[in-house]
Structure 1
Amino acid sequence: GGGGGGGGVLSRFVLNQSSAQRYVWLPQAGGWSLYWSLPRDQCDQYAHCGAYGVCDVGAASMCGCPAGFAPASPRNWELRDSSAGCARRTRLNCTGDGFLPLRGVKLPDTTNATVDAAIAVDQCRARCLANCSCVAYAASDVRGGGSGCIMWSSPLVDIRKFSYGGEDLFMRLAASDLPTNGDDSSRKNTVLAVVLSLSGVVLLALAAFFVWDKLFRNKVRFQSPQRFTSFDSSIPLNQVQDRKMEDETRHSNELNVTLFDFNTIAFSTDNFANLAKLGEGGFGPVYKGELDGGQTVAVKRLSKFSTQGLDEFKNEVMLIARLQHVNLVRLLGCCIHGEERMLVYEYMENKSLDNFIFDKARSAQLNWSKRFNIILGIARGLLYLHQDSRFKIIHRDLKAGNILLDGDMNPKISDFGVARIFGDDTDSHTRKVVGTYGYMSPEYAMDGVFSVKSDVFSFGVLVLELVSGRKNRGMYSSGEQTSLLSHRMQAWRLWREGNALALLDEAVAGGGGGGYSRSEVLRCVQVGLLCVQERPEDRPHMAAVFMMLGNLSAVVPQPRHPGFCSDRGGGGGSTDGEWSSTCTVNDVTVTIVEGR
């Protein structure tokens, strides 16, 4: 470690084989406070997703493969081992190849890359295309629209997707794997020439298509209400002829779930058009659709290579079909067609919570009154899952992206793919840890131990995010002193100093949207810190959480030290020590290119 004096900030660095931390001295507290730490999350681990894999902490599966690639070892990916990376679907043949743009990423390891800062990006593309061993290129200087050239000729490792910022990487793909809107100009020219030479044939084909389309639409409109979109005559899920699902649903109670015809779903989403796409998560893409009766729906389509597969699909159907609550998203039905698996939900006009609280432009739309109402709504929904529903259910992936908002900004908990029905046991173990880092409780992330207190921890993170308007994880600009480790630490420090109001989002604290209740903000910070305490037994149950939030006269206990990679041997968790011994990684890399 090292420090500096002279009236400036006193700091020290702690380095070991797996991590690095910087601490600053706080004279008022009389102790060291963590300023930043690496790795911030699993995506900071070198080559966490293997060759050609893309790491995204915001995705449930974390590791994914770009278009034109598939998991090199699908079996291992199902077990959350993505170290083998991704493999090409089609081998490159040098002629006819094109490039797939990956936007907003950290560039791969440049150890074996070549850099030429003197040429333009277009020249870089041409040079890479002419070099059969070149697998990707990018601009070496992103200023002014981009210039210079970086070329890779070996498998790409250590790619990371950022929610904000990042750079553009252009990966080489075989012509057959290129999207229809790919950037290969020669390919476009070839298509254009064919179209012009066969214009007469195309016109005839279009005319025939419109005639067929009109007949098809009439047929779908006739069949859909009668067979599939009538919610008065639902089809039991265990009557669906799918052997894989049949084996495990045979002994379960009969579920009345509306089964939609594939053609009905395809027609409602304009054949899964990109314009109808609302977003994409670990399960797969989500589309906006309109049923024949005019009802707007959201369709979740299971990705073929998603790590959330058939079991999670069935799990979500079986669970949410039994649940009815104003703060849970409503499942309208499902579709099973060959290998296609889709879930049909009520449509939420304002999409997910993270679209608002982490967006500086849109966060002002959430004044304190709306934020407090969202906090109470999530608490009500979680209390129903834990205590008031027919089954005790642990969500296991509660995060801002899984909180949907209706037209009136009322919250609804969604995505029950990894939820579990819980018995009378206080906790359980799993070897397959699923969820989103930053929202996971320490005992679940490190040891696979989960309980209702795991959801309570995630709820506490959500509360602090709603109050502060800042993510609990991810990459931030150098001006912000927030990361996976320091976010809760900052809330804890401000609370102990009696300055918790400083945590409040500037969009609210600035006086916009009608002001805020000081007592409500302080109570939310205090309850949020109670929920993220180190030891599960110290965290309150959701019944107590809802009572403390909804009753301003209720006595709220003082929180103890929050839980995150900190000293597990501390017992009471009352110190500021950090878990350096349990946060292990293989390596840490930061790619820096000269001339940038």
Structure 2
Amino acid sequence: MYLHGNGSLELIGAKRKSLYKSFDHPTKTWLPKQLLKFKTNLTSTISVSNLSTGKFSLQLSYKNIGFYFNLSSPQKYRTLDIQNGEKFSSGMDLLKFSFKKEGVRYTATRNHSLFLRLVPKGQFNIYRITDGKLEIFYLSIQKLYGECIYPTYRGNYGVCSRDKCSCPGDSRYFNKLNATANEFSCAQDAPLSCQNITLHKFLTLENVSYFGFVSQFVDIDVESCKMACLNDCSCKAALFQYKSNLNIGNCSLPMELYSLRNNTGVVFNDNALAFIKVQMQSIIIAETPSKEQKLPLVLLMVLHVSAFLVLSIGACYCYKRWRKKKFVLQMQRRDNSNDSSSLHVTNILRKFSFEDLRSAMQNFQIRLGRGGFGYVFEGVLHNSTKVAVKRLGPDVKQGKKEILSEVETIGNIHHFNLVRLVCYCAQRSNRLLVYEYMFNGSIYKWIFHRNHAQTLTWETRKKIIVQIAKGLEYLHDYCNPNIIHFDIKPQNILLDTDLNVKISDFGLARLIDKDHTHVMTMPKGTPGYMAPELIGGRNITVKIDIYSFGVVVLEIICGRKSSNSWQGDYLIDTLKIKAEENQLSDLIDEQSEDMQNNKEDAVRMIRIAISCLQKNLYKRPSASMLVKVFEGLMDLEAAADYSFLNFILEETPPDIIPSASSKIIPSVFNKLIIMQSK
């Protein structure tokens, strides 16, 4: 490793070959004379202490710098003009930008020691070091709005002005959080519930705008805009912009609401109205009924009391019968270690109560998908961190086993290509795992459910494959104890904003002590990705993940599923035929022109995948070997015989025949027999 005088760190390999230069891979900091390419983004971190990818990014163009807040799609909140050769002044001339064909460099006009950085709240700052002291100059502040230009400057729902900040409307609906000079945010007193939209109302804010105004409806009247928000469970506000007539304007329905901007004193092209959706239920209870309402309320109360008495008498007999049983069960739950309410796996991760997470998840209204053991929901924690929450199913024994496995497995490990577990909840039957949110979902939708705009390039697919291998290398070689994932498949390979890989779902994972290389286990995983040795359930090694990795690589390169049981179409059969005919290029994704232009490299990747599918697990490469191959430090010997791609199961030796009483093994066995014998 060599640290150059300009601050670039370079990793040099065999024959003085340069393997890595930090200047070519900037993250949040831009150094003087460092060429920032037009296709390269700087991204912020979540916080000063949490270095995971944050919500903010910047992109260079030939004329300016665009700043984006990354929600479901990037939304621009600021543009900074930098013309060729122009100096940027902030009290003194500090920077001079110079444009090249492929990107932009900058220099300090007075030979200052400085650098630029995109910080967690979205500010882009100059940091100058003078006599050991650090000075800060703010590049991205706008004259009209000041620091109100930043989407999260006043947290969720905060209305930002130059001289003060406030919560929307009546204090009965919102509470101030962290109301200090540096921190401010608002929280709804009663979280929105979609069970009855008649309990929803709007707080009207005049002359208030929002950075992320994306028009869902154009040339619409204001009442239709509000009604569209009421009928949309995920809508948090109805934002309306118009010129002179409330009957014609544009309507935006944000699903998340961050800082709002008070336009008082600001010349704005359009008039702006913000209608904040709030829950009325707690307010209705607190209000005193009018005289006209008293009689219906009294009658309603009488009916309720009567019904209550009848039901109480009817339930009394049943209650006596199961009261004793319930009491015994409650005592067992308190004293028995099987009670997940007492589950506390690690001191590193924060444990939340179910009520806290239900509030953050807005009563689990926004569902992202379904996992192997339950549903996945979208939510936002109190610190504005967007998260994905897996709520495990009602099976107490199975749910506890999975949460123990996931928390113990990834609660104490940290790697760039492994999804980060933020916190968890284990309160009786309520078991939730909270992960960092992946804005681009799994590679499954990118490979199999895509449109032309989402077709992955060869370089992106190669990056995804290499990063999966690096994640497996960390699990297999650098964790103590080592970890077998057991369920590597496209649905468990997630992508962040920059399409970086995060391996997820460790519910089936197993730990292996350094002194052992094998484990015994029942067959588990997903048919089509399971290695042949899993049928026996013995001598299981980390190489089963390598087999699954090989199948995933084939799917990424070929752009098709490994099996299609409806049509009896199996990629493994076609792979064997094309390999024996030396026509592997026929398998490359035909929907991608870029893949067709890189056939030679793609075929080389298919051959690496074939080596991972060896029936003899000792012939499969390890994850560390694969990483070295991808980095050009070694080569794999190509398979000369492709008969192993048949995967016809040989007779299982009597000493390792699985128990016939298992209900899992025969089903998996039959599926594999059908798939592999075709």
Q: TM-score, normalised by structure 2?
A: 0.45
Question: Which of these residues, 482, 494, 501, is aligned with residue 585 of structure 2?
Answer: 501
Q: 1:288 to 1:213 in 2, by over 3 A?
A: farther
SS at match of 2:511: strand
Deviates more, 1:395-404 or 1:465-474: 465-474
Q: How does 1:139-538 map to 2 (within 5 A)?
A: 207-210=280-283, 243-244=337-338, 255-273=347-365, 276-305=366-395, 308-361=398-451, 364-423=454-513, 424-430=515-521, 432-447=522-537, 449-476=539-566, 478=567, 482-483=569-570, 487-508=571-592, 511-512=593-594, 516-538=597-619
- 1:246 positional shift: 8.1
Q: 1:278 to 1:522 in 2, by over 3 A?
A: same
Q: Contact 1:492/1:529 (CA < 8 Å) preserved in 2?
A: no
- What is the alpha-carbon distance in structure 2 between the residues aligned to residue 323 and residue 564 of structure 1? 38
- 1:547 positional shift: 1.6
- What is the alpha-carbon distance in structure 2 between the residues aligned to residue 246 and residue 338 of structure 1? 5
Which residue does 2:267 correspond to in 1? Answer: none
Give aligned pairs, total. Answer: 337
- 1:567 positional shift: 4.7
SS at match of 1:507: coil
- 1:374 positional shift: 0.3
Report the AA paired with residue 312 of structure 1: E
Q: 1:326 to 1:552 in 2, by over 3 A?
A: same
Report the AA paired with residue 350 of structure 2: T
Q: How does 1:555-574 map to 2 (within 5 A)?
A: 555-558=636-639, 560-563=642-645, 565-568=647-650
- What is the alpha-carbon distance in structure 1 between the residues aligned to residue 362 and residue 283 of structure 2? 14
SS at match of 2:435: strand
Q: Which runs of 5+ in 2 are unaligned?
A: 1-194, 197-278, 288-333, 654-667
CA RMSD of aligned residues (A): 3.6
- 1:292 positional shift: 1.7
- What is the alpha-carbon distance in structure 1 between the residues aligned to residue 416 and residue 493 of structure 2? 13
- 1:538 positional shift: 1.6
Which residue does 1:100 correspond to in 2? Answer: none
- What is the alpha-carbon distance in structure 2 between the residues aligned to residue 408 and residue 546 of structure 1? 21
- What is the alpha-carbon distance in structure 2 between the residues aligned to residue 315 and residue 355 of structure 1? 27
Q: Contact 2:487/2:526 (CA < 8 Å) preserved in 1?
A: yes
Q: 1:294 to 1:371 in 2, by over 3 A?
A: same
- What is the alpha-carbon distance in structure 2 between the residues aligned to residue 305 and residue 393 of structure 1? 25
SS at match of 1:461: helix
Q: Which runs of 5+ in 1 are unaligned?
A: 1-179, 182-205, 215-239, 572-581, 589-596
Q: Contact 2:573/2:645 (CA < 8 Å) preserved in 1?
A: no
Higher-Rg member (1/2): 2
Q: 1:256 to 1:539 in 2, by over 3 A?
A: same
Which residue does 2:625 correspond to in 1? Answer: 544
- What is the alpha-carbon distance in structure 1 between the residues aligned to residue 552 and residue 524 of structure 2? 18
Report the AA paired with residue 572 of structure 2: R
Structure with the greater relative contact order (CA < 8 A, sep ≥ 6): 1 or 2?
A: 1
Report the AA paired with residue 554 of structure 2: L
- 1:241 positional shift: 9.6
- What is the alpha-carbon distance in structure 2 between the residues aligned to residue 366 and residue 213 of structure 1? 55
- 1:249 positional shift: 7.9
Q: How does 1:122-141 map to 2 (within 5 A)?
A: none
1:230-288 Cα deviation digits (max 9, x unpaired):
xxxxxxxxxx99832689989x8x54111123222112221011xx1000111200000
- What is the alpha-carbon distance in structure 1 between the residues aligned to residue 435 and residue 591 of structure 2? 32
- What is the alpha-carbon distance in structure 2 between the residues aligned to residue 540 and residue 212 of structure 1? 67
- What is the alpha-carbon distance in structure 2 between the residues aligned to residue 447 and residue 561 of structure 1? 24
1:33-52 Cα deviation digits (max 9, x unpaired):
xxxxxxxxxxxxxxxxxxxx
SS at match of 1:332: strand
1:476-503 Cα deviation digits (max 9, x unpaired):
5x5xx722xxx11211221222211111
SS at match of 2:423: strand
- 1:564 positional shift: 5.7
Q: Contact 1:418/1:434 (CA < 8 Å) preserved in 2?
A: yes
1:87-110 Cα deviation digits (max 9, x unpaired):
xxxxxxxxxxxxxxxxxxxxxxxx
SS at match of 1:309: helix
Report the AA paired with residue 428 of structure 1: V
SS at match of 2:377: strand
Q: Contact 2:553/2:606 (CA < 8 Å) preserved in 1?
A: yes
- What is the alpha-carbon distance in structure 2 between the residues aligned to residue 290 and residue 531 of structure 1? 40
Q: TM-score, normalised by structure 1?
A: 0.51
Q: 1:556 to 1:397 in 2, by over 3 A?
A: same
Q: 1:384 to 1:213 in 2, by over 3 A?
A: farther
Q: 1:306 to 1:460 in 2, by over 3 A?
A: farther
Q: Contact 2:424/2:433 (CA < 8 Å) preserved in 1?
A: yes
Q: Contact 1:356/1:366 (CA < 8 Å) preserved in 2?
A: yes
- 1:520 positional shift: 2.2
Q: 1:549 to 1:495 in 2, by over 3 A?
A: farther
- 1:537 positional shift: 1.5
- What is the alpha-carbon distance in structure 1 between the residues aligned to residue 626 and residue 587 of structure 2? 20
- What is the alpha-carbon distance in structure 1 between the residues aligned to residue 335 and residue 382 of structure 2? 26
